[in-house]
Structure 1
Amino acid sequence: MTKPPSPVTSTSKAAARIRAAAVDAFATNGYGGTTTREIAARLDMSPAAMYPHYRSKEDLLFAISYDGHATTREVISAADLPGEPPTARLRSMIAAFARWQADHHAQARVVQYELTALTPEHYRDVVAIRREITQHFRQVVEAGAAAGEFTVPDAEGVTLALMSLCVDVCRWFPAGAYTDADAVASLYADLAMRLVGAD
């Protein structure tokens, strides 16, 4: 399990308020289009008041990104059903992943689409968690293929397709008839079964 880097450890209410305001600002205007002054203004505080919690805008983005990825990893791990067949495991994990992306679409959009703004060190820390999440899914896909439950020509490619499918939810949700996260979870679980060729 990856140890949380220091900027993520702040659990104070003030830090949580700052992260929430930053998520809203980054999701609306993009990381590059947002200043620390604008984030502070949303909270009726000065930029200097944010410094004890986050030394820079990039530190703030890192905290949001790390937290989002770490939470996603926990959600997926909790949704896994190790004692069940791979089909049940994958359905549950995909549903949980898609539901989280819908329920937290603003944070997820920042987490997924602002990665390149991180410093190389912070980028590596976050990508390490992404790899853990991907590997978890791949293990289940491979288990399903080995058990004859899935028909996949390429476990790695199918795993990447499954991940991409779920990650994209934050880009469009809510839209059209899909305004309920549970409906998205059910739809994506069904789509996942088609992607892996499950009966």
Structure 2
Amino acid sequence: MAKRRQARFTTDDLEGLPELDDESPALWDESRGEVPRKLLTSAVRCFASNGFHATTTRDISGAVGLSPAALYVHFPSKEHVLFEIVRTAHDRALACATDPAVAGLDDPVEHLRALVARYTEWHARYHVAARVSQYELAGLSAEHYEQILETRHRTNVVFRTAVERGVTSGAFADVDVKRVARAILSLAIDLVRWYRRDGADSPEQLGEFTAQLALTMTGAPVASVHQG
């Protein structure tokens, strides 16, 4: 029996879809120029809808009114486009988690609350690019994949350290630091599979809700979880 092929979205199909509406266009460094930024935004939408392998350079370029060859003027390959998206998303997410306004909080409870809220908000605001950066890693070259793994490791350390600090200080229960940190990261990131800007929760509301769940997982005292 022949394997049924998955429906493939055309660039016309993607026009105006609310699930592809996010703030990803703001991620790209303006020094790249207008055309490369448009190509990256188009690629995010195409990769998120059809996957990296099913997306063609014609799809990416055509959506911004350019010929397929135009992509190669700015990027060596389709894989380099993917890497730029994934690298940028991971770097920006890590910068959000290490922002001095969050990292400088002395109280372990307030620090974890702010860390999780900000990290969750970031993934909600850029949920389409974040979805690509989480679920299309298999399209990267081995060299590029290793670079992304290093950034992911640094992010994991930030969350493990935040939980461990609370446990050591007595602000949290004696929880399994690695498991709790992993669960918190999953909560903050997995929303990229379903979040929509036209849904019930704003990024801020979702960030605060996830932060409360994270503190509950650490066994923080109820009074601490609900204060502020």
Choose from 130, 144, 150 the match for 1:122: 144
What RMSD over aligned residues (CA atoms) do the two structures have, in Å?
1.8
| CA displacement, residues 81-106 of structure 1 (integer Å, 9 cap, x when unaligned) | 42421111111010011101111111
TM-score, normalization: structure 2? 0.80
- Whole-angstrom distance in 1 between the partners of 2:128 and 2:105: 34
- Whole-angstrom distance in 2 between the partners of 1:152 and 1:176: 39
- Whole-angstrom distance in 2 between the partners of 1:90 and 1:75: 13
| CA displacement, residues 56-77 of structure 1 (integer Å, 9 cap, x when unaligned) | 1111000000000000011111
Aligned: 1:26 with 2:26? no
Give 2:152's aligned amino acid.
R
Secondary structure at the aligned position of 2:73 is classed as coil
Choose from 37, 51, 66 the match for 1:16: 37
| Structure 1, unaligned runs of 5 or more | 1-7
Residues 167 and 175, structure 2, Cα contact 8 Å, conserved in 1: no
- Whole-angstrom distance in 1 between the partners of 2:174 and 2:190: 22
- Whole-angstrom distance in 2 between the partners of 1:41 and 1:140: 45
User: How far apart are 1:173 and its partner, in Å?
Assistant: 0.5
| Aligned residue-pair number | 192
The structure number with the bigger radius of gyration is 2
Aligned: 1:43 with 2:83? no
Partner of 1:106: 128
Choose from 55, 58, 80 the match for 2:76: 55
Aligned: 1:65 with 2:86? yes
- Whole-angstrom distance in 1 between the partners of 2:33 and 2:195: 30
Residues 81 and 88, structure 1, Cα contact 8 Å, conserved in 2: no
- Whole-angstrom distance in 2 between the partners of 1:197 and 1:182: 23
TM-score, normalization: structure 1? 0.91
Aligned: 1:80 with 2:102? yes
- Whole-angstrom distance in 2 between the partners of 1:117 and 1:32: 7
- Whole-angstrom distance in 2 between the partners of 1:172 and 1:105: 9
- Whole-angstrom distance in 2 between the partners of 1:83 and 1:31: 39
- Give the % identical residues: 34
| Structure 2, unaligned runs of 5 or more | 1-28, 222-228
| CA displacement, residues 138-184 of structure 1 (integer Å, 9 cap, x when unaligned) | 11111100000111431111111111111101111028963411110
